[in-house]
């Protein structure tokens, strides 16, 4: 079943008597629990047409580099194999998606696309909806509850969005069945990129190759499901108590896979909900409430990746203390190279640089310290966006933008006024030491780096 609230017509073009139904896969890079793919197959079967799946590969997505593209292409390789097993043709072009979809849709009856929440994704869909000569239908599949069904406006905090989600979530917590295409592939030669040669393909792209791929996590749905199964079996029961200890690694590692759409949040939610683990509710709070709060912020606030997107009280208090004396001021290069006086901050930055991920608790400390050690809050904001989007596998994502905004007071409340931070929540190394052993954390990261 595909709920009607997930489906949105983006233009008013008439359906054509084309050669195939076209699914423009972009943000949902998977074949399982993909409402957009299943909707496309249902449409194709009703019209007795074959289905074609298209992906536009571009280096123009902000901060595209060797690391994030390698992870993405590993997942797309698996997508190709999975689609072949379902007798569906997959075409990848080295072309900006909004241009490629117009070219490949010339003989399509209609086009289906998955929903994206960031400005660049939405601009691609808007441009295409205006330029296509057939219907463009958007199907939302990267949230448990569709973003516009949760709320029609930017929410203040988790406390305001939580009841809105809980009131309607049962309607959307429904497994998605897989449909079988009744028509064979179109037989048209679309000259797709050779994704079998992953190494050759990645080297041919004009990317920042200084950010190396990491063996810590491999891309693809099967990898995501393997991590999830291990997490449920071995970590979920104590997730609530131990998730904030970076030395114990009690996180699920789902965020990179969710970012690229390689696993469905609905699939994860259903798997976790079926357990009787005491950590279940805490994990679902993060997966659904907190993640969909981040998507709400990105979707409704056009300045989500800048200081200007913050609430007025946050900007006001930080600007009031902008001239406060800083004990340390570092450049963007200092931060990038982990060249600060703080061994715990340096370890967190190195974890991100060398592994493509950073423990969630350390991300909060990491962000707060960049505010403290930058010339202005505006400069700190841009430094954090740059570092996160360059090195994190789950960078360039609503969760990342919202996490950075939280460091500046978004979705939080005013605290006791202090130097530099004003009424924004403050963190220091004493707080780390009350939670866990940060020296052991720094040693763990340093030992990892010395062994690679």
pLDDT for 172-221, tens place per residue? 999 999 999 999 887 888 889 999 999 999 999 999 999 999 888 999 99
Stretch 213-242: mean pLDDT? 96
DSSP 253-279: --HHHHHTTSS-HHHHHHHHHTS--TT
Mean pLDDT (the chain, rounded): 97
Give the 3-state DSSP-derived string for 105-130, with helices as H, strands as E and coil as C.
CCCEEEEEEECCCCHHHHHHHHHHHH
Q: What crossing angle do the helices spanning 377-391 and 343-355 adopt, rounded to 10°?
A: 40
What confidence category does residue 10 fall into, taking pLDDT thresholds of 50, 70 and 90? very high
- Range 362-377 average pLDDT: 98
**Residue 216, pLDDT score:** 84
Residue corresponding to tokens 């699920």: 252
Give the C-alpha distances (Å, rounded to integers) separating 43 from 37, 38, 95, 137.
10, 9, 26, 11
Contact 19, 183 (CB under 8 A): no
pLDDT value of position 433? 97
pLDDT confidence of residue 139:
98
DSSP annotation string for 409-433: TTTS-----BTTTBTS----HHHHH
In the chain, domain spans: 1-142, 143-176+221-300, 307-450
What are the φ/ψ torsions at residue 418 (nearest 5 degrees)?
-150, 170
User: Which residue is it, tokens 């963190």?
Assistant: 427
**Alpha helices (runs of H) in 243-376, residue ranges in sequence order:** 255-259, 265-273, 280-284, 291-300, 312-320, 332-336, 343-355, 360-372
Q: Are 112 and 139 in contact (CB under 8 A)?
A: yes
Number of C-beta neighbours around residue 446 at 10 A? 14
Q: Above 90 in pLDDT, residue 1? A: no
Give the model confidence (pLDDT) of 412-436 as tens digits: 999 999 999 999 999 999 999 999 9
- At residue 90, the pLDDT reads 96
**From the centroid of its chain, how far is CA 223?**
16
CB 263 within 8 A of CB 271: no
Quote the distance between the C-alpha of residue 253 and its chain's center: 12
User: Other CB atoms closer than 10 Å to residue 248's CB: what's the count?
Assistant: 14
Tell me the average pLDDT across 275-294.
Answer: 98
Residue 104: CB atoms within 10 Å = 21
Residue 411 pLDDT > 90, yes or no?
yes
Give the HSE-up count for residue 288: Cα atoms under 13 Å, Cβ half-sphere.
28
Gyration radius from the chain CA atoms: 22
Alpha helix (H) residue ranges in 147-249: 147-150, 158-168, 198-204, 221-234, 239-242
Residue 73 has a pLDDT of 98
Determine phi and psi for 339, rounding to 5 degrees.
Answer: -105, 65
Q: Is 138 helix (H, G, I), strand (E, B) or coil?
A: strand
Contact assessment for residue 285 and residue 387, using Cβ atoms and an 8 Å cutoff: no
Q: What is the pLDDT of residues 71-119, one digit of tens each?
A: 999 999 999 999 999 999 999 999 999 999 999 999 999 999 999 999 9
* Average pLDDT rounded to a whole number, residues 286-301: 98
pLDDT at 422: 98
pLDDT value at residue 188: 80
**Domain 1-142 in this protein, CATH class:** alpha beta
The torsion angles phi and psi of 179, rounded to 5 degrees, stand at -100, 150
What's the pLDDT tens digit per position in 113-150? 999 999 999 999 999 999 999 999 999 999 999 999 99
For 303-325, write each residue's pLDDT tens digit.
999 999 999 999 999 999 999 99
- How far from chain centre, in Å, is Cα 343? 29
Cα–Cα distance list, 114 to 15, 88, 104 (Å): 19, 17, 17
Q: In CATH, what number does 143-176+221-300 get? A: 1.25.40.80
**What's the confidence (pLDDT) of residue 452?**
81
Q: Three-class SS of residue 65?
A: strand
Domain 307-450 top-level CATH class: mainly alpha
**Bridge partners (DSSP) listed for residue 369:** none
CB atoms within 10 A of CB 158: 14
- Predicted local confidence at residue 215, as pLDDT: 84
């Amino acid at each position: 079943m595909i709920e009607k609230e997930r489906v949105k017509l983006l233009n008013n073009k008439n359906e054509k008597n084309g050669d195939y139904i076209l699914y423009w896969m972009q943000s949902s890079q998977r074949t399982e629990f993909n409402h957009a793919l299943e909707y496309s197959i249902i449409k194709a079967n009703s019209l007795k047409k074959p289905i074609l799946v298209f992906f536009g590969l571009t280096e123009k997505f902000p901060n595209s580099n060797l690391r994030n593209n390698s992870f993405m292409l590993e997942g797309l390789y698996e997508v190709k194999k999975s689609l072949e097993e379902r007798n569906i043709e997959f075409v990848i072009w080295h072309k900006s998606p909004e241009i490629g979809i117009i070219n490949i849709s010339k003989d399509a009856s209609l086009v289906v696309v998955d929903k994206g929440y960031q400005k660049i994704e939405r601009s691609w869909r808007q441009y295409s909806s205006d330029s296509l000569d057939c219907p463009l239908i958007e199907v939302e599949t990267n949230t448990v509850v569709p973003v516009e069904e949760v709320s029609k406006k930017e929410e203040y905090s988790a406390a305001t969005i939580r009841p809105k989600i809980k009131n309607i979530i049962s309607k959307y917590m429904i497994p998605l069945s897989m449909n079988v295409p009744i028509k064979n592939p179109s037989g048209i030669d679309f000259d797709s990129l050779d994704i079998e040669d992953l190494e050759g393909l990645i080297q041919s792209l004009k990317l920042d190759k200084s950010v190396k791929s990491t063996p810590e996590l491999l891309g693809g749905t099967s990898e995501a499901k393997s991590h999830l199964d291990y997490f449920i079996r071995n970590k979920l029961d104590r997730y609530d108590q131990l998730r904030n200890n970076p030395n114990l690694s009690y996180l699920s590692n789902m965020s990179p896979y969710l970012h690229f759409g390689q696993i469905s949040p609905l699939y994860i939610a259903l798997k976790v909900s079926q357990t009787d683990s005491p950590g279940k509710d805490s994990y679902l709070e993060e997966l659904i409430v907190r993640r969909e709060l981040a998507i709400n912020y990105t979707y409704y606030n056009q300045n989500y990746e800048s200081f200007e997107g913050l609430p007025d009280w946050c900007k006001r208090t930080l600007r009031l203390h902008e001239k406060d004396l800083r004990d340390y001021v570092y450049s963007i290069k200092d931060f990038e190279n982990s060249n600060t006086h703080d061994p715990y901050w340096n370890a967190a930055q190195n974890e991100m640089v060398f592994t493509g991920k950073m423990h969630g608790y350390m991300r909060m400390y990491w962000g707060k310290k960049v505010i403290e050690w930058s010339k202005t809050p505006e400069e700190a904001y841009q430094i954090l966006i740059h570092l996160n989007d360059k090195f994190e596998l789950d960078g360039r994502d609503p969760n990342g933008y919202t996490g950075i905004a939280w460091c500046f007071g978004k979705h939080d409340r005013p605290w006791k006024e202090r130097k530099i931070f004003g009424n924004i929540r403050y963190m220091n190394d004493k707080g780390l030491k009350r939670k866990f052993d940060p020296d052991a954390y720094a040693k763990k990261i340093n030992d990892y780096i010395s062994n690679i």
